[in-house]
Amino acid sequence: MAHVEKTGAVLVVGGGIAGIQAALDLADSGFLVHLVEQEAQIGGVMAQLDKTFPTNDCAMCVISPKLVEAGRHLNIDLHTRSRVTGITGEAGQFSVTLEEQARFVDLDKCTSCGECAKVCPVTVPNRFDQELGSRKAIYKLYPQGMPGAWAIDKRSVAPCKATCPAHVSIQGFIALMQQGKYAEALKLFKQEHPFPGSCGRVCHHPCESVCTRGDADQPLAIQYLHRFLADLDFEQESPWLPEIQEKREEKVAVVGSGPAGLTAAYYLAQKGYQVTVYEKLPVKGGMMAVGIPEYRLPKAELEKEIAVIEALGVTIETGVAFGKDITLDSLKKDGFSAVFMATGLHGSRALGVKGEDLKGIQKGTTFLRDAALGKAEKLTGKTIVIGGGNVAVDVSLTARRLGCDDVTMVCLEKRDEMPAWDYEIEEAIEEKVNIVNSKGPLRFYGNDDGRVVEVAFQECTSVFDENGRFNPQYDDCQLTSCEVDNVIVAIGQTGETDFARDQGISLTRPGGYEADPVTLQTPIDWVFAGGDAFYGPKSVVDAVASGKTAAESIHRFINGLDLAEGREKSWDYDKPEITEVPNVPRVQAEKLPVSQREGNFREVTQALAKELIDREAARCLSCGICSECYQCVEVCLAGAVDHAMTTRTVSLDVGAVILAPGFKAFDPSELAQLNYAGNPNVVTSLEFERILSASGPFQGHLVRPSDLREPEKIAWLQCVGSRDENPCSHGYCSSVCCMIAAKQTVIAKEHSSGPLETTVFFMDMRTHGKDFERYYQRAEQEKGVRFIRSRVHTVETDADQNPVLKYVTEEGGLETETFDMVVLSVGLETTEQTRELAENLGIDINAHGFAGTSDLSPVAASRSGIFVCGVFQGPKDIPQSVMEASAAAAGAAAELAPARGSLTRTRELPPEQDFSGQMPRVGVFVCNCGINIGGVADVPAVREFARTLPHVVHVEDNLFTCSQDTQDKMKQVILEHGINRVVVASCSPRTHEPLFQETIREAGLNKYLFEMANIRDQNTWVHMNNPDQATAKAKDLVAMAVARANCAEPLYQIPLSVERSLLVVGGGVAGMTAALSAARQGYPVTLVEREDTLGGVAGHLLTTVQGEPVAPFVLNLVETLSKDERVQMYKNSEVLETTGVLGNFTTRIMTRADDGKPVAVTVRHGATILATGGKESVPDDYAYGRHPRVYTHLDLNRAMAEPGHGIHGAKTVVFIQCVGSRNDQRPYCSRICCTVSIKKALMLKQEHPDMDIYILYRDIRTYGLKEDLYTEARKKGILFIRYEPEAPPEITTPEGPDPSSRDLTLQVTVKERILKMDVAISADAVVLASAVLPHENRELFELFKVPVNADGFLNEAHAKLRPVDFASEGIFLAGLAHYPKSLDETIAQAQAAVARASVILSRDHILVGGVVAENIHPEQCARCLVCVRNCPYGVPRIKEGHAWIDPALCHGCGICAAECPAKILTLHHFTDRQLTEKSHALFA
Amino acid sequence: MPDINTSEAAFEPRIIGFCCKFCAYAAADLAGSMRISYPASVKIIQVPCTGRIDMIHILKPIEDGADGVMIAGCLEGECHFLQGNLKARSRVEAVRRILAQIGMEPDRVAMFNLSSAMGPKFAEITAQMTDRIRQLGPSPVGEAGKKSRNAA
């Protein structure tokens, strides 16, 4: 095999508990881990749970230390909001591509203070709370989430903002308006656009045409909203004025005071430039002033907005003509650094027909300009306006206002082709303007005075050619003519740019300026050009956009920056899906009555009242989610928010991949009969978790969503989206829902203030895990939970929104029952994204959408080097997920063993200074946390108070103590002032103590010389309404912290070398798998087996659940191990004695020498795995052992393997389940027997299709994908009959059976519940599914000091998150000794145990000590054994005549120190003195 | 939750709160994240486990004049060190008996259990404890101390 260089890094996909566990195991054993999570925070579904079964532990308590550990781990790189898009290479050397969605918040700068969320105007449903509550668009998934930084949800840019040429944050200003923040809204608008009022009157609002609301009813009246803002602003004494950044000397000239020129001036002035605008006309505003008639945009309103620009220091000189009064040369001479040409299009296009020069024929732009300047004469007689655009309408309506009562618009286009906006045409018609379509002027006729009197028109047959180009065709046979007094030609604008040509400014062929379309720079580098004069006639908002572009370019030009870099931004947008948007009609503005418009230029469209404006603003659908109102940017003093972040593509080199993408809960809304969508009191089990959670939407108060009333009666419906082929297409069992329901019934009762009735409707109660059956029994018998065996198909709703259930009982009765709430126990399913991920990575998934794996390598995906774990591997609970995660880590580590340690990082630290014998010199750093602390408590006062405290030599306060620059400064200050104790008064030590400890350690201080005062989370955040109390309490907390710091002592951890080898006790599949897995990771292994053969119970198995033959697998394991020189095997051997601590155990083994004589050997090892296995119980009933045709499963295996055995000729076989399990003697479920019986039944049926097979059962527990077997069995005609434990099946044997007799038929009688009668079956064979027992190993377990439960199974350290660890460190467990489990589960657990052991074995040494207990006065020890009795871990021992606590074993709880009567045991860092000084300081 | 800030009693109790690192202290932080306001009377001392808390740690503050001491640990059965909170409970009971013997109100010392997800509960017990101490009035030890200090 070619040698492949391995990459010592692993990609872990999925930041749920499985991903976290895999990441930690690997990072703790020498690998760099990239942990990829699609959400903004890791934690997955477990973080959403309230309690965990079967211990009822708080899920958050259990997971949050793991979150912090993973979040801060030096060798775990978190990639949040990311997904894997591709992979190349092979096992050992993959290259992976990630797509990392922008977070919009800088991970390093965010201090998690949450000020941003307070100002965020956008409220969205809280996904973490299953949408039972809401949160803001800027959010942290949940308070304890890691990484701590917030994130912003965006759905691209909102369509309105994307489409607005000026890209005004339209959704943003509307969101602010919804909150009544009109001033902020105006400011936001004016950040992008200086004319909210003018554009609020004249804009053609392309934003409205894309408004999503338009897809539902009508688009938002966006224009009116910003007009309102502008009007409101100008009602104030001093309207809002943008801030001017630092004043600059550079001068910029703008030629033309239209919207483009003024906009450029507006932005340049804000950047501090000296801007002069030159205007040829006597008025300011360009076309806004002289092209748009006053009745649409009143001069006064425009002037107000221009005045704001002037107030910024912009000088506008009117009556100055470029090329005449000023030139490029003169500007240069006057010291201008740049010029912006924005001269507009003030000429009119000519018709080019005869008689066009006659008197009485005017040009449209001239006419409007004259009208605007008050120079227009009163118009009388018949006026014909030629043109069909908006300008023509403006001209017509202006003509009407100038007194003409006979105005006719004539245009080439048909009515529906007219370029004018519909509402403009309607306005024209309203004001009695005649419109004549499809006619073009042929020539004008004049009278003797040279004045026009008649126009001849020809019929226009088409305006555009097939390519849509303007190419009018006429029918010159159809001529008309009419008499006329005035003609105004308004068929388009042209530039009057001769002055430019004279100045050497180049023009393009159509007549516009030549300039770069992105930067607007002309060939003359300091001259820029924009607006209509550059791109042709457009609108005010387009001109604004152009002016903004010019301002940015000119700024870059003056500063010598790259003009083009980063300029071309994509403005693609996605619209949200809209369903159920209530129809709310758009507001309509009042218009000036037509009768009042005649003869005057009063504004036609009236402003909207505030109520209407508010109603309109409320119609916004928040398409972009984040509205980009930038309030968060303003309040974030840490400067962490960055809306310009974009999606990144990241490439990573890794040697292996672990997939733990998890699942989503089944969405029951598609099951209409369950009424989930229609009744708020029908909730999913995950929603119910959030309801129960103290940090959930109802703060843990058990209330129902519809009316927040406490329910008195709740029903749980099982198997929603599980065990249901149709319509859910989920034939599998989700494995966890039965226990979730049992747990929820119990917890709900605890949460309920009154009595709560709980009922669970189920098909089979599947409580197959360790201690699950007991939980179920307790729920039913002690807690009074009602369990009803029935599948409820319909949930109706009564008038009070109470769910009404109709169900059929097992006895056949139809019942109707009303509940206050219904919880749907929804199943687990893989997501579309996960299936995509599988496809991207090229791994198989099975028919149910889970990863395809084999039972004999349960965590290996179909592609080498890729591993899977958690629910993606198949539906399962947390401990099983955690086990698989560790197993996957072991798989990856075995793959990459040669590269261990090649990419991991270590911290380089300076030597620690020795302060012994010196007085304390305390430095106190008080944090403002932006305004989180300083905005409530008087931080300077706290700081000055700290100065008065004993031994304080330095005090200071900082804006953010955790920021990198403060950390650097802190290190300096420590050295400068000789500080030997540090106190930080800021947030919580839970999140920040490690950070500050690192900092002081980098300054040479021992990390225990640090103390924190939590003056934020436990002070200013909770006393924000009482600043005085907050200040006083902050002082108290600082005084207490300083007091403790004054008696802080350095602590040192001692390195202990590690014996890097493993001892495995037990040679079954668990032990052998562990041995092999460890050897593959490169560790020497000692394997001890009591028997003379290896293989344990697996040696008697036929196939796995999926049908893989077991014998060759076991044989191969044995062979591989015996060939592996790293593995030392001791068969026929037993452990005699074991001593030592993790990393350094010594074990004596009694074995046999080659000559067969007993001999003891001693092995040294760093970790131990106990895999002592289990066995099948021997039934004492059902005639077992008395009749030859009553078998156990192992008997049956032997019989089936024997070709001529009688079982092959049996006609009828009966399986009896739960023989010896789930009874008083063994109140646990043996987990595997249902599956095994069904598997065997199917094998028999396969061989002998005519065989009648009965399975007598209590609950069928084919959990997970094993359900497929049950389905298949029923399809194949295997009969299932349920019995009650009170009426077990009975077996009668033929009297005095004669073994030689041919008739050995057994009679099996069982009470059939539906028929309510006894069923008698004549059976040729009866198979008893007898209980699984652990091997009896009491002495061995005592040697290793490991605990067992009441059933004799080994007890793991924690039922959920430490399923293969023991509480005493360095010892691990796997296999049947832990609990009954299938072969695949055993293999995974064995591999997991190796991953856990590897955390120790991968190191040269481990550090012990620190915060541990110690006997500091051994000579005073009375050996009273109080410590020995009280230590929960059995650590204290009597050594050399006194109590001794091994620092390697101590967990640091301090119970012994509290109990020690002589007070000679102490817990370091929490000494009596340190604790009492701390409280004493409060009263000093 | 009673609004103690408007209570007529001007007396602001001074209470020491021992909180275990894993549950109670984390719950107090969560109350902060959730911005749940509660009385400022309790000053928290973090301990690795309530099992660390010795009777002397409770009695010393009482001697110093504390009006109350509250001990808050994990839910029973959920101690991160298996039994620490149970040990603490028995010591708290012992301290309460001592207080009764010397004629002080045992209710000045109380033990609470909560999980790290119970931010609202933390605020609740703080208010409850403050209320209780306020009803009991200032510690006689504290008052006596003050008088003797003033006399000196």
Tens digit of pLDDT for each residue in A194-243? 999 999 999 999 999 999 999 999 999 999 999 999 999 999 999 999 99
Measured CA to CA, the distance from residue A716 to residue A792 in angstroms comes to: 10
What Cα–Cα distance (Å) separates residue A309 from each residue in A182, A203, A552, A820? 20, 20, 17, 63
Are residues A1432 and B81, on separate chains, in Cβ contact within 8 Å? yes
Measured CA to CA, the distance from residue A688 to residue A751 in angstroms comes to: 12
Are residues A1470 and B81, on separate chains, in Cβ contact within 8 Å? no
Cβ pair A161, A629 in contact under 8 A: no
Q: What is the mean pLDDT of residues B80-101?
A: 95
3 state DSSP class of B141: helix
Torsion of Cα atoms, A364 then A366 then A370 then A375, to 10°: -110
Tens digit of pLDDT for each residue in A620-634? 999 999 999 999 999
What Cα–Cα distance (Å) separates residue A1267 from each residue in A872, A1257, B23? 17, 15, 39
Interface membership of A1462 toward B (CB under 8 Å): no
Residue of B nearest to A699 (CA): B120
Tens digit of pLDDT for each residue in A1242-1275? 999 999 999 999 999 999 999 999 999 999 999 9
A1 pLDDT tier (thresholds 50, 70, 90): very low
Tens digit of pLDDT for each residue in A133-142? 999 999 999 9
Are residues B40 and A1040, on separate chains, in Cβ contact within 8 Å? no
Are residues B16 and A1482, on separate chains, in Cβ contact within 8 Å? yes
Tens digit of pLDDT for each residue in A2-22? 456 899 999 999 999 999 999
Residue A468's Cβ-count burial label (10 Å; 0-12, 13-18, 19+) is exposed
Six-digit token string for A663:
């699942």
Q: In what order do the strands lie in the sheet with B42-47?
A: B42-47, B15-20, B68-73, B109-113
Measured CA to CA, the distance from residue A15 to residue A82 in angstroms comes to: 11
What Cα–Cα distance (Å) separates residue A1471 from each residue in A699, A873, A1037, B53? 37, 48, 19, 10
Measured CA to CA, the distance from residue A482 to residue A382 in angstroms comes to: 10
Tens digit of pLDDT for each residue in A815-851? 999 999 999 999 999 999 999 999 999 999 999 999 9
3 state DSSP class of A1384: helix
For residue B2, the model assigns a pLDDT of 41
For residue A1155, the model assigns a pLDDT of 85
Question: Residue A147: is the preceding peptide bond cis (ω within 30°)?
Answer: yes
Tens digit of pLDDT for each residue in A1199-1240? 999 988 889 889 999 999 999 999 999 999 999 999 999 999
3 state DSSP class of A1012: strand
A501 pLDDT tier (thresholds 50, 70, 90): confident
Q: In sequence order, what DSSP letters do the residues of A20-41 get, joined into one string?
A: HHHHHHHHTTT-EEEEE-SSSS
Three-state SS for A690-730 is HHHCCCCCCCCCCCCCCCCCCCCEEEEEEEECCCECCCCCE
For residue B7, the model assigns a pLDDT of 42
B4 pLDDT tier (thresholds 50, 70, 90): very low
Q: In what order do the strands lie in the sheet with A794-797?
A: A794-797, A803-808, A814-818
Alpha carbon A911 to its chain centroid, in Å, reads 41
For residue B146, the model assigns a pLDDT of 58
Measured CA to CA, the distance from residue A905 to residue A913 in angstroms comes to: 24
B144 pLDDT tier (thresholds 50, 70, 90): low
Measured CA to CA, the distance from residue A727 to residue A1431 in angstroms comes to: 56
Rounded to 5°, the CA angle A1398-A1404-A1410 comes to: 90
What Cα–Cα distance (Å) separates residue A386 from each residue in A362, A383, A455, A461, A487? 10, 10, 11, 17, 7
Are residues A1455 and B119, on separate chains, in Cβ contact within 8 Å? no
Cβ pair A607, A165 in contact under 8 A: no
Examine the pLDDT at B9 and tell me if it is beyond 60. no
DSSP state of A46: G
Taking the CA of residue A1473 and the nearest CA in chain B, the distance in Å comes to 9
Interface membership of A262 toward B (CB under 8 Å): no
Q: Which of A63-67, A122-126, A672-676, B98-102 has the lowest mean pLDDT?
A: A63-67
Give residue A729's region: left, alpha or beta (phi > 0; psi -120 to 50): left
Tens digit of pLDDT for each residue in A638-661? 999 999 999 999 999 999 999 999
Q: Kind and range of the H or E element at A233?
A: helix A222-235
Six-digit token string for A354:
């005869």
Give residue A1182's region: left, alpha or beta (phi > 0; psi -120 to 50): left
Examine the pLDDT at A1423 and tell me if it is beyond 80. yes
**Percent of chain A residues topping a pLDDT of 90:** 85
Cβ pair A337, A252 in contact under 8 A: yes
Tens digit of pLDDT for each residue in A1297-1332? 555 555 678 999 999 877 788 999 999 999 999 999
Measured CA to CA, the distance from residue B78 to residue A62 in angstroms comes to: 10
Q: In what order do the strands lie in the sheet with A786-789?
A: A682-684, A821-826, A713-720, A757-762, A786-789
Q: Which of A150, A1475, A1477 has the most B C-beta neighbours within 10 Å, making it the best mutation to test the interface with B?
A: A1475
3 state DSSP class of A1348: strand
Neighbouring C-beta atoms of residue A1075, cutoff 10 Å: 32
Tens digit of pLDDT for each residue in A1372-1422? 999 999 999 999 999 999 999 999 999 999 999 999 899 999 999 999 999
3 state DSSP class of A847: coil
Residue A424's Cβ-count burial label (10 Å; 0-12, 13-18, 19+) is buried
Q: Kind and range of the H or E element at A552?
A: helix A540-558
Interface membership of A251 toward B (CB under 8 Å): no
Q: Which residues of B touch A1432 (CB under 8 A)?
A: 81-84
For residue A1295, the model assigns a pLDDT of 59
Q: What is the mean pLDDT of residues A342-365?
A: 91
Interface membership of A778 toward B (CB under 8 Å): no
Q: Which residues of A touch B45 (CB under 8 A)?
A: 1040, 1475, 1478-1479
Cβ pair A712, A705 in contact under 8 A: no
For residue A757, the model assigns a pLDDT of 97
Q: What is the mean pLDDT of residues A702-714?
A: 96
- Greatest alpha-carbon pair distance for chain A in Å reads 143
A871: nearest Cα among A744, A734, A738: A734
b/e per residue, A177-208, with b = 16+ CB within 10 A? bbbebbebbbbbbbbbbbbbbbbbbbbbbbbb
Question: Residue A727: is the preceding peptide bond cis (ω within 30°)?
Answer: yes
Tens digit of pLDDT for each residue in A794-814? 999 999 999 999 999 888 889
A1296 pLDDT tier (thresholds 50, 70, 90): low
Q: Which residues of A touch B91 (CB under 8 A)?
A: 1458
Measured CA to CA, the distance from residue A185 to residue A195 in angstroms comes to: 14
A1053: nearest Cα among A1011, A1001, A1013, A1003: A1001
Of residues A497 and A1353, which shows the higher confidence score? A1353
Residue of B nearest to A1475 (CA): B57
Tens digit of pLDDT for each residue in A1028-1077? 999 999 999 999 999 999 999 999 999 999 999 999 999 999 999 999 99
Please give the model's pTM, rounded to 2 decimal places: 0.88
Measured CA to CA, the distance from residue A473 to residue A459 in angstroms comes to: 9
A479 pLDDT tier (thresholds 50, 70, 90): confident
Residue of B nearest to A690 (CA): B117
Across the interface, of A56, A64, A1453, the residue whose CB is closest to B51 is A1453
Examine the pLDDT at A31 and tell me if it is beyond 90. yes
For residue A1298, the model assigns a pLDDT of 53
Which residue has 């126990």 as its token pair? A825
Tens digit of pLDDT for each residue in A380-402? 899 999 999 999 999 999 999 99
Residue of B nearest to A49 (CA): B117
Measured CA to CA, the distance from residue A1392 to residue A1074 in angstroms comes to: 8
Six-digit token string for B9:
């009693």
Tens digit of pLDDT for each residue in A931-948? 889 989 999 999 999 999
Interface membership of A901 toward B (CB under 8 Å): no
3 state DSSP class of A632: helix
Six-digit token string for A396:
């017509």
Are residues B116 and A50, on separate chains, in Cβ contact within 8 Å? no
Sequence length of chain B is: 152
For residue B1, the model assigns a pLDDT of 41
For residue A1367, the model assigns a pLDDT of 84
Examine the pLDDT at B5 and tell me if it is beyond 80. no
Tens digit of pLDDT for each residue in A280-292? 999 999 999 999 9
Are residues B116 and A60, on separate chains, in Cβ contact within 8 Å? yes
Are residues B5 and A1026, on separate chains, in Cβ contact within 8 Å? yes
> Chain B, 99-118: which have a CB under 8 Å from a chain A CB?
115-118
> Chain B, 1-60: which have a CB under 8 Å from a chain A CB?
5, 14, 16, 21-23, 25-26, 28-38, 40, 43-49, 51-54, 56-57, 60
Q: In sequence order, what DSSP letters do the residues of A1203-1263 get, joined into one string?
A: TT-GGGG-SEEEEEEEESSSSSS--S--SSHHHHHHHHHHHHHHH-TT-EEEEEESS----
Q: What is the mean pLDDT of chain A?
A: 94
